Structure 1
Amino acid sequence: MNCVSLKSIPFFLQLVGSLGNTSRSDNINRLEELVITGCGQINWQGSVVLPTSLSKIDLERPGYSMDRFMRGFLDLTSLTYLKIHRCDSLTAIPLHVWRSNLPSLEVLDIYFCNNLTSIVSEASSSSSTTNGGIKGLSSLAKIRITWCPKLLSLHEFLQPDCLPAVKNIEVSFCKELISPSVDRLDGLQQLTIEGSDKCNMERAMILPSSLKKLSLKNCQGIESINLANGQSASSPVLEKLVIVNCSDLKSIGGAEAVDKIKTLCICGCNELKEIRQPLRR
């Protein structure tokens, strides 16, 4: 169906008012999947209330005023999957709203949101994270954020109280992103960072002891990686390590730090003199 000229979806707006027990409102409130694709003319500037029954939201070129749309994620306690692709009007994700209203979210996929700059709580709400006012995204296990060239920081997002269940994080081609830090995410098992030009770390990159797979490609600014953090010599946790074209990297803790890693690829790191490159197995 060609929806390029569609400018509104009025039944989401009508939910704001009282509709009684009409069959139409009952049907909307049973909606489980919402897919909006190629509807770039929709204006979400008005009040948006989404059905609380939703378990999946799939957005690709969904229109404009998407900042307003994101603030309508209220009481979505059944939502497990959220995809946000090619939303050029999205500039900020209201983390305080999501933390309070998406307890079942398991997968978050953000791709090609060219104007997204932040994933943060409002100043008036951020303080409540310390007193129990805002919960974490307690089920969120998999995060992919790619091709968001204006995204500046994930510092507030990548916190253990916000992401207590996260297992897999991929951050790729976010050129302005500064130093994503994951060392406090104790359950993290897989981390991928690619195409980051501003990983300016004043200290060694520290990894959580739970990490099993690490991939760093085309990342500038990382000079040292502490591969030994929490790794037992007799039973190391890290199973796969890929480091490619990280031109500022100088140390990984010595050649012995990678002796017991089963799958290994290190190449194109010209400042790294501790090992002979390419190193593969």
Structure 2
Amino acid sequence: MRLGLHLMDFTWPGGPSALAPTLDRILRDAEAAGLHSFWPMDHFFQIGVVGPPEQPMPEVYATLAWAAARTTNLQLGALVTGVHYRHPGVLVKSVTTLDVLSGGRAWLGIGAGWNEEESRGLGIPFPPLAERFERLDETLQIARRMFDGDSSPFEGRHYTLERPLNEPSPVRRPPVMVGGSGEQKTMRLVAKYADACNLFEWRQEPEGLKRKLDVLRRRCDEVGRPYDDVVRTTTGRLRDLDLDAARRRLDQLAEWGVDLALLTPPSPLPDGVFEYVAELVRHAAPLGRPSPALLG
């Protein structure tokens, strides 16, 4: 099993001028600890479970491009882009450019989106949930075509692309991760289109995560896709840095079939947090099934 870094809180000492050097140190420490990937949130305002909307929230694709220039091995993705934020053709071009300039380290993380407050605040159209899922379905189809070099016209209910040209093409076809735990729409889209799913640990009851993965298995069966083709990822908080408890948690995730666990550290970062993370990386490495190829 592999481990990644998920950042939600950028409220660090020193204000805006300190954000870049602080993030630079975090990324260097994360890479030295052996983490697989870096996943900042794709939000424009801070979300309520972390703090007030006025807290700092850098735009995610500028952040990932900046991070690509300062790292060598970390894979890079947004956790996750709301489908209504960006036109799909532009989004695919952004992720492809990130992939090319990072040497093949980009992922497309995407979901139906939910934060109406930031959308209204910035004047971003916020369709009803049913329409956002329709747009997500079409966007996943468009991403598959464009990543694979298919520039034939696409005409859907919400998007029409006369020539979805995508040059330069990706160094590596960016894996597509769909975030969300909805059993009807989200899980069906994962089974039909995605390379990976993402589930939030703290939104599940103790056995809830396993149940969600069982649902995903059924959705894969329904579309005739092998369940093991889907990379299973989770996101969860590092709380009190209890090493034994964290090891037991990773053991349980691996038993349930999780391939990549994204860790959200406390903020501000405690002293020694990446030495602690390095211990978890070493513990997780032999757990679970052999690492799927797209994890690198």
Q: Does TM, normalized by the shorter one, top 0.5?
A: no
Per the normalisation by structure 1, the TM-score is: 0.30
Per the normalisation by structure 2, the TM-score is: 0.29
Structure showing the higher helix proportion among its residues: 2
**Comparing both chains, which one has the higher relative contact order based on Cα–Cα distances under 8 Å and sequence gaps of 6 or more?**
2
